[in-house]
Amino acid sequence: MLKDLGTPARGLVRSAALPREIRRRRTVLVLVILASFTLIVLDARRSAGSPVEPLRHAAAAVFGPLESGATSARQPVDNLRDRFAEVDRLKAENEKLKADNEKLTSDLRTTDYARNRAAELDRLLKVAPAYTVTPARVIGIGSAQSFNHTVTIDAGTADGVRPDMTVLNGDGLVGRVVRTTEGTATVLLIGDRNSTVGGRLSSTMALGFVSGRGEVAGTLDYKLVDLRARPKVGDRIVTWGSKGNAPYVPGVPIGTVTSVTPNQGTLGSTATVKSFVDPSRIDLVGVVTGPPARPPRSTVSPEKGR
């Protein structure tokens, strides 16, 4: 019977201890809250004699170096990241500047090309203002063709170009067409050994023949028909034309006399002529494809009473 009565007694003791533990914890919590509130109120005064100030300094002394070390350790990483970002930005900016520079250079070249082409066309028209001229460009030059000194131009029968037509540029006579295809033509240069052009001195109108030497420099020989005539250094020579304006039309500049040498054992002399056209710099040319517009010739009659 006593054993059975002892069990409820131990339960009553445990139940009585629980309220005391709860009250103790509540008391501690209230004290902590009051202490915290008191510290907050005291610190809010921001006075030099605040009791919290020593604690703040102690915390700063302990955690300040740790925070500074963490910041110092993180700084190189941040700097490296910023440097990579700056390098990427500079690379992108450099690429943009390069692209802009290339575009400006291309535009400048295009503008220069167009300006030079316009100037060449203007000079070409001034050399043969009365003729119908078909412009063309040199697209080939060299010994692969059947003649020694020839060029290929990008105009052919489809453009009205035929053999034995005069070819000139803004400086003067280039040569004559010797063969054609639908889209191209081969031009024999006046400097070729097989080339002979009728030319006259612009100063005296004396007639002669200009022959090529086959030299790259474009040096020519000139012999007058009248063996007694003698050209002078500096005389200009122009074409005197061919029957039907083929292969040469009249009045096209050929070159300038640079020296005169008497012929040995015979009458007459041979003049060395520097061609107005530089054969190594031929680009834009014109093929004379039409005759000049010629007004009716006026007649001359003898006066009466003479």
pLDDT digit string, tens, across residues 184-199: 999 999 999 999 999 9
217-218-220 Cα angle (round to 5): 130
Give the pLDDT confidence of 150-170 residue by residue, as tens digits: 999 999 999 999 999 999 999
Any domain includes 168: yes
pTM score, two decimals? 0.59
Residues 141 and 286 in one domain: yes
**Residue 120 in domain:** no
Number of domains in the chain: 2
CA dist., res. 65 & res. 71, Å (int): 10
Residue 182 binned pLDDT confidence (cut-offs 50, 70, 90): very high
Query: First-to-last CA distance in the chain?
Result: 190
Q: Residue 296: inside a domain, yes or no?
A: no
287 vs 132, 176, 178, 268, CA distance in Å? 8, 9, 12, 34
Please tell me whether residues 147 and 252 are part of one structural domain.
yes
Same domain, 275 and 156: yes
Which token pair is 179? 């063969």
CA distance 242 to 251: 11
Is 160 within a domain? yes
Whether the CB-CB separation of 202 and 237 falls below 8 Å is answered with yes
Instruction: Name which of 126, 179, 169, 184 is nearest 280 in CA terms.
Output: 169
25 with 159, same domain: the answer is no
Residue 169 lies in a domain: yes
Tens digit of pLDDT for each residue in 44-102? 655 555 555 666 666 666 556 656 655 665 666 666 677 777 777 788 878 887 777 77
Q: What is the pLDDT of residue 20?
A: 74
CATH of the domain at 242: 2.40.10.340
Evaluate whether residue 80 is within a structural domain: no
Looking at the predicted structure, is the pLDDT value of residue 249 above 70? yes
Is the C-alpha dihedral spanning 279, 285, 289, 295 positive or negative? negative
- Same-domain check for residues 144 and 38: no
Based on DSSP, count helices (H) and strands (E) in the chain, helices before strands. Answer: 2, 12
Clarify whether residues 239 and 145 are in a common domain.
Answer: yes
pLDDT at 5: 47
Residue-level pLDDT at 56: 63
- Reported confidence tier of residue 1, pLDDT bands at 50, 70, 90: very low
* Residue 17 belongs to domain spanning: 2-51
Residues 43 and 143 in one domain: no
Q: Which two tokens stand for residue 226?
A: 């009248």
CA-CA distance, 140 to 105, in Å (whole number)? Answer: 27
pLDDT of residue 144: 47
Looking at residue 155, its pLDDT comes to 94
Spatial CA neighbour of 190 closest among 78, 276, 293 = 276
User: Is 37 in the same domain as 136?
Assistant: no
Pair (170, 261) in one structural domain: yes
pLDDT at 304 over 50: no
Output the average pLDDT for the chain. Answer: 78
Query: Given pLDDT bands bounded at 50, 70 and 90, which one contains residue 263?
Result: confident
Nearest in space to 254 (alpha carbons), one of 215, 214, 196, 204? 196
What is the C-alpha separation between 281 and 207, in angstroms, rounded?
29
Segment 142-154 mean pLDDT: 72
Residues 38 and 142 in one domain: no
210 has a pLDDT exceeding 90: yes
Q: Cα(84)–Cα(269) distance, rounded to whole angstroms?
A: 81
> Does 69 map to a domain?
no
220 and 275 Cβ atoms separated by less than 8 Å = yes
Co-location of 281 and 151 in the same domain = yes
> Could you give the C-alpha distances from 12 to 18, 19, 230, in angstroms and in order?
10, 12, 156
Residue 189: strand pairing partners: 175
Pick the closest to residue 146 from 108, 79, 113, 192 (CA basis). 192
Q: Are residues 139 and 260 in the same domain?
A: yes
In a domain, 192, yes or no: yes
